[in-house]
């Protein structure tokens, strides 16, 4: 008989606080966001999809003791349930499961990742982002009144954010997503890496990962169903 998932217990309150920060950023882009939670042993992987970037965001957290569950829940309800006060371990009653959006069944592979060269260093990535944002604002401001439409702005955004970085296939929008979700931080000796597995690309930082299909992939809407973790 299947035992209903009741709660998760984090290794310490900082793990819960970091997850709360991630959920808050995710909800900024989608107030009705859902997240898929996969726990195995002492680790939890949280998957979300901020719609503005068309990528999967992956945040991990350390758990206290062995856990084993796989459930999709409301990001907002999970944020409300998180205990980010006090000290020591932090317990979190899990919200009721929800019917997951299509992407929740289309996760990156669990293994087979290999590091790829050609990714600029974090300082260079942030410089490119700053320049891209400035270019978008300049081109948007230059639009004549009769062309100030969502479609025109989307065309500008697609042109800018689909550009690849360094000698890689990674689109700039993945780096933008990492920055916006708090994964790309200005710190000395901050390690970032580009990993690949099949047609998947993954930008990995110490605070989370951004995953998406490469240029040869079919896009998130047409993926084969797999079960993965960060």
Taking only the tens place, the pLDDT of each residue in 103-162 is: 998 899 989 999 999 999 999 999 999 999 999 999 999 999 999 999 999 999 999 999
Whether residues 128 and 165 share a domain: the answer is yes
CATH number at residue 99: 3.10.150
Contact criterion met (CB below 8 Å) for 208 and 91? no
pLDDT number for residue 33: 96
Query: H or E stretch including 20?
Result: helix 13-29
pLDDT number for residue 60: 95
Q: Is 2 inside any structural domain?
A: no
pTM of the complete model beyond 0.85:
yes
Whether residues 86 and 131 share a domain: the answer is no
Residues β-bridged to residue 133: none
Domain holding 142, by residue range, is: 114-196
Whether residues 52 and 29 share a domain: the answer is yes
Whether residues 66 and 135 share a domain: the answer is no
Report the candidate in 21, 1, 19, 2 with the shortest Cα–Cα distance to residue 10.
19
pLDDT of 41-80, one tens digit each? 899 999 999 998 999 999 999 999 889 999 999 999 999 9
Is residue 83 over pLDDT 60?
yes
Q: Is 227 inside any structural domain?
A: no
| Residue 93 Cα distances to 5, 73, 120, angstroms | 9, 12, 41
Distance CA 22, CA 10 (A): 15
Q: Is 125 inside any structural domain?
A: yes
Whether residues 120 and 101 share a domain: the answer is no
Report the candidate in 71, 79, 76 with the shortest Cα–Cα distance to residue 100.
71
| Per-position b or e across 26-55, b if 16+ CB within 10 A of its CB | bbebbeebbbbbbbeeeebbbbbbbeebbb
Q: Is 19 inside any structural domain?
A: yes
Whether residues 80 and 141 share a domain: the answer is no
Q: Greater confidence, 15 or 217?
A: 15
Based on the structure, what is the number of domains in the chain? 2
- Reported residue count of the chain is 230
């Amino acid at each position: 008989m299947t035992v209903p998932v009741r709660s998760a217990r984090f290794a310490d309150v900082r793990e819960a606080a970091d997850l709360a920060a991630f959920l808050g950023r995710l909800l900024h882009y989608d107030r009705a966001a859902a997240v898929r939670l996969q726990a195995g042993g002492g680790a939890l992987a949280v998957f979300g999809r901020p719609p503005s970037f068309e990528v999967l965001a992956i945040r991990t957290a350390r758990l206290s003791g062995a856990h084993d569950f796989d459930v999709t829940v409301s990001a907002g309800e999970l944020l409300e349930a998180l205990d980010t006060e006090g000290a020591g371990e932090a317990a979190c009653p899990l919200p009721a499961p929800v019917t997951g959006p299509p992407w929740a069944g289309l996760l990156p592979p669990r293994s087979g990742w290999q590091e790829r060269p050609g990714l600029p260093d974090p300082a260079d990535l942030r410089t490119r982002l700053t320049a891209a944002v400035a270019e978008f604002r300049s081109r948007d401001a230059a639009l004549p009144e009769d062309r100030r439409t969502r479609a025109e702005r989307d065309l500008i955004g697609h042109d800018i954010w689909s550009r690849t970085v360094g000698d890689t296939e990674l689109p700039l929008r993945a780096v933008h997503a990492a920055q916006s979700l708090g994964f790309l931080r200005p710190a000395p000796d901050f390690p970032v890496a580009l990993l690949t597995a099949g047609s998947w690309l993954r930008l990995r930082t110490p605070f989370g990962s951004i995953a998406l299909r490469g240029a040869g992939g079919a896009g998130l809407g047409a993926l084969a169903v797999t079960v993965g973790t960060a």
